[in-house]
Amino acid sequence: MTIGEKWGPVMLLTGSYRRALDDKLRLAIPKPLRDQLPGESPLYLTPGLDGCLAIYPPAAFAALADRLAASSPAAREVRDYSRLFFSQASTVTPDSQWRLRVPAELIKWAKLAGEAMIVGVRDHIEVWAAERWDEYVAQCDGQYEQLAEAALTSPGAFVLRQGVPEVAAEQLTGAGSRSPR
């Protein structure tokens, strides 16, 4: 069963947007991203990876929860991550202007102050301190092709990522097929 069959159409959140955190600790979600999100449904705001925050629509959050539930509860890392992840997650509902109130503890965790970068990442949105995002992009600059090759051709790169069925790397890279003469 794919994520689309279980929770509805797969979202494809893309783009990056610079926005200010207001004095009430709210962050406005840009229109191109909010147009892809489900109406007035609550969203899930969590600590993300690499020092950012993550905003998950209900379907993506449920898929992540299912994936964690399928992991071995005997593994210490699974228990520790699950405890930290779910205990720090907040349910947030956008206001009429699509602003989300970010809890102070998550602002502190992500070192948000002033400007933030709001980044669409396939099935979720990441919120970065603008300076951290700029540093991250500078660090990755010049590595795009290497990163793409590693992500698209590594063994198991597409094995049930958040409920999406496996896609053979050969289909994406053309490996195993004859090159045109």
Pairwise CA distance, residues 151 & 145, whole Å: 10
pTM over 0.85: no
Q: What is the pLDDT of residues 69-120, one digit of tens each?
A: 888 878 888 889 999 999 999 999 999 999 999 999 999 999 999 999 999 9
If one counts the domains in the chain, the total is 2
Pairwise CA distance, residues 94 & 167, whole Å: 35
Please indicate, yes or no, if residue 113 is contained in any of the structural domains: yes
Please indicate, yes or no, if residue 46 is contained in any of the structural domains: yes
Query: 116 lies in which domain range?
Result: 9-135
Residue in this structure with the two tokens 């660090």, named with its chain if needed: 139
Are 107 and 168 within one domain? no
Please name which of 124, 123, 103, 125 lies closest in space to residue 112, comparing C-alpha atoms.
103
Q: Are 27 and 125 in contact (CB under 8 A)?
A: no
Q: What is the pLDDT of residues 126-177, one digit of tens each?
A: 999 999 999 999 988 888 888 888 888 876 554 434 444 444 333 333 444 3
What amino acid occupies position 138?
A
For residues 66, 123, 77 and 140, what is the CA-based torsion angle, rounded to 10 degrees?
Answer: 160
Are 167 and 131 within one domain? no
pLDDT tier, 36 (very low <50, low <70, confident <90, very high otherwise):
confident
Are 149 and 127 within one domain? no
